[in-house]
Chain A
Amino acid sequence: MKKIIKYVIIDILRNKIILAYTAFLLVLSFSIFSLEDNAAKGLLGLLNIILIIVPLVSIVFSTIYVYNSAEFIELLVSQPLKRRTIWMSLFSGLSSSMVLAFLVGAGIPVFIYQPDITGVMMLLIGVLLSVIFVAIAMLAAVKTRDKAKGIGIAVLLWLYFSLLFDGFVLFLVFQFSDYPVEKMMVVVSMFNPLDLARIMILLKMDVSALMGYTGAVFKDFFGTGIGMLLSFSVLLLWSILPVWFSIRKFNTKDL
């Protein structure tokens, strides 16, 4: 398994796209931090990168990579290896290189300009989101045979998580504005890793505003040790479940 992971990582690094992604993140984060006159505003820019660009690149790149290495996978399958091992190595290789790219690209500027708990939280969330969207990409790729369709699904999924879902939540909030929906909102936010990630960063960044009544409900839940633990577990679940489903599918898939 180690050997396959090594091959995957070397292959990805040779690909140069991941290097370009790292450089892009690095340039973007540095420019955000140095353009803004205060670091807190820079952090806000970084939040947008983490919530929009990181998932997009992770999901699209991983989908394409899985399709492109179809022949390599076929070759591996002909060897005396478990399919599960092959798929897991692929996932580990992909996610570790995405995480590495993110940590280098965003981590260095954060540690230079904002080395506090908010910054560390952002990096942690960014790492988790990278892994989660690689996992979702693998599920999307294994479900469809057609490459174009698979990439389309990946992009749609990204659009769903970053835009459509929130639109739907906003609609719900307005429809049920006469009811106390705060607690329901907490549950709903669990269904979107991006929402959960955003709220966790919000708790560090906008804590003053969150101390208002409704905010306090969220803070009472997410801000406590148990809430924090639960949120992180849900995020972990979001990275484990798609991989698990994709393994089940891959095990029986006619290549």
Chain B
Amino acid sequence: MKRILLITILGICVVFFADAKTIKVGASKKCTTIQQALMFASNGDTVMVNKGMYHEKNLIISKRIALIGIDYPVLDGELKYEVVAIKASGVLMQGFKVIRSGVSSMEDFAGIKIYNCRDVIIRDNILENTFFGIYSQYGINCTIEKNKLTASSSEEQQSGNGIHCWKSDSMRIIGNFITGHRDGIYFEFVTNSIIWRNNSEKNLRYGLHFMFSSNDSYIANIFKNNGAGVSVMFSHDVKMIHNYFEENWGDGSYGILLKEISDGIIENNRFVKNTVGIYMEGTSRIKMNGNVFEKNGWAMKIQASCMDITVTGNNFLNNTFDMSTNGSLVLNTFNGNFWDKYEGYDLNKDHVGDIPYRPVSMYSVIIEKNPPAMILFRSFITTLLDKTEKVLPSLTPENFKDAFPLMKPLRL
């Protein structure tokens, strides 16, 4: 009985797949436009598009097909249209070059937009000068993989986000390269998703922007030289692991800006040459472990509105200031890190310093209150002030300290 059932199912499958056909599109083929091919196609078909220039106006894919480009055929939006709209589940789009989408302040025109469907795969496309790059609206379980997105707008208003996900779930954003957009990757109301091995650099605003997006992870991405770094706001259970945050320079520019975040994990990231490595405000229950802060202006700015932040086992190297804060209330712990500015001793040779380290220097408190005082930084008088403060703490918060500072840097 079982065998018969199996054979029947197999038989049905063979018939089903035998039905799927491949339609070729190209100048010398029967179909010269993709629109035509889409009309002929039915669910499960493959549309192969040869190299060439295609002006399809607004291409709407409403059947479950695989749309595959050979040698990157160009889809031109002529600066007027939304280039590709995917309105069916299970669509695969691969190997296209999408250029010049419309720009509008009323509508969110995108290079490729997913509307209310699931299991869509967008892979290996090149997007140039699109307003929004790849846009997912109510997408579920979609994969956006190995795309290269480049925009060249100079104003935030005239520019959309690279990969923009809105009210989506279970998204996989993997190995994309995004540059020149407003935000490299933008998440709003997106849950259970992963952002993995992307490279987001030189975007106008944020490299990655999270809003109201919970239970997401971003792992092994590079965020470099973005206008304002990375910002994660109003979310919970966000995991940030093995990312690089580099050269995010400017006032209000941060490696990561955390605002109203709870229950997150920040592990094994590298923060190099940022004005501020991590800025935290209204953040709670975050575990930070194994991160390296190197050559930043401020490694971390933790506002007094944060609580239960655990900073353990991180390396702080060559930062101008290790930490700064804006109040005297400290509800966080900073034990067991390596600080290169630590000047204590280790008598019992257990590799843990015997006296606590205070990461907030007096001068960072002064600069927090009075920024122009920065001009006196590293002068004789400020060095004297810092030394006196170390002996007799008065301005710096009493509890802001690492009670078990490490003597040697961790291998990270």
Contact = CB atoms under 8 A, between A and B. Distances in A.
A169 B380 CA distance: 13
Which one of A41, A189, A202, A218 has the greatest number of beta carbons of chain B within 10 Å?
A202
Nearest to B296: A208
A34 interface: no
Contacts of B374: 209-210, 212, 214-215, 218
Interface string A191-203: 0001100110010
B103 interface: no
B251 A212 contact: yes
A206 B380 CA distance: 16
A206 B282 CA distance: 28
A162 interface: yes
Nearest to B379: A166
Nearest to A217: B372
B370 A177 contact: yes
A169 B375 contact: yes
B363 to A, nearest CB: 10
Nearest to B341: A41
B253 A211 contact: yes
Contacts of B399: none
Contacts of B373: 170, 173-174
Contact of A208 (B297, B371, B376, B381): B297
A38 B321 CA distance: 17
A206 B252 CA distance: 17
Given A38-B318, A208-B275, A169 B376 contact: yes
A189 B376 CA distance: 9
Contacts of A234: none
Contact of B249 (A177, A182, A202, A211): A211
A199 B380 contact: no
Contacts, number: 106
B380 A38 contact: no
B368 to A, nearest CB: 11
Given A182-B372, A185-B372, A208 B378 contact: no
Given A167-B381, A209-B320, A212-B275, A199 B375 contact: yes
Nearest to B251: A213
A44 B341 CA distance: 12
B224 interface: no
Interface stretch (A46-54, A66-74, A84-92, A110-118): A46-54
B321 A209 contact: yes
B250 interface: yes
Contacts of A182: 372
Contacts of B274: 208
Contacts of A52: 380
Interface in B370-402: 370-384
Contact of A185 (B321, B375, B378): B375
B273 A208 contact: yes
Contacts of B296: 208-209
Contacts of B295: 40, 208
Which one of A166, A167, A195, A215 has the greatest number of beta carbons of chain B within 10 Å?
A215
A163 interface: yes
A166 B320 contact: no
B297 A210 contact: yes
A4 interface: no
Contacts of A189: 375
Contacts of B375: 169, 173, 185-186, 189, 195, 199, 214, 218
Interface string B328-372: 000000000000100000000000000000000000000001111
Nearest to A52: B380
Interface in A9-68: 37-38, 40-41, 44, 47-48, 51-52
B317 interface: yes
Contacts of B249: 208, 211
B372 A181 contact: yes
B245 interface: no
A155 interface: no
B376 A170 contact: yes
Contact of B297 (A181, A198, A206): A206
B317 A38 contact: yes
Given A206-B320, A208-B274, A208-B320, A173 B372 contact: yes
Contacts of B276: 212
Interface of A: 37-38, 40-41, 44, 47-48, 51-52, 162-163, 166-167, 169-170, 173-174, 177, 181-182, 185-186, 189, 194-195, 198-199, 202, 205-206, 208-216, 218
Q: List 8 A-B pairs, minimum CB-CB distance, nearest first.
A: A209-B297, A213-B251, A209-B320, A214-B371, A208-B297, A211-B249, A166-B381, A206-B320
Given A40-B295, A41-B318, A210-B374, 15 more contacts: A38-B317, A51-B379, A52-B380, A163-B381, A166-B376, A167-B381, A170-B381, A173-B375, A173-B376, A206-B377, A209-B298, A211-B249, A213-B371, A214-B374, A218-B374
Interface of B: 249-253, 273-276, 295-298, 317-318, 320-321, 340, 369-384
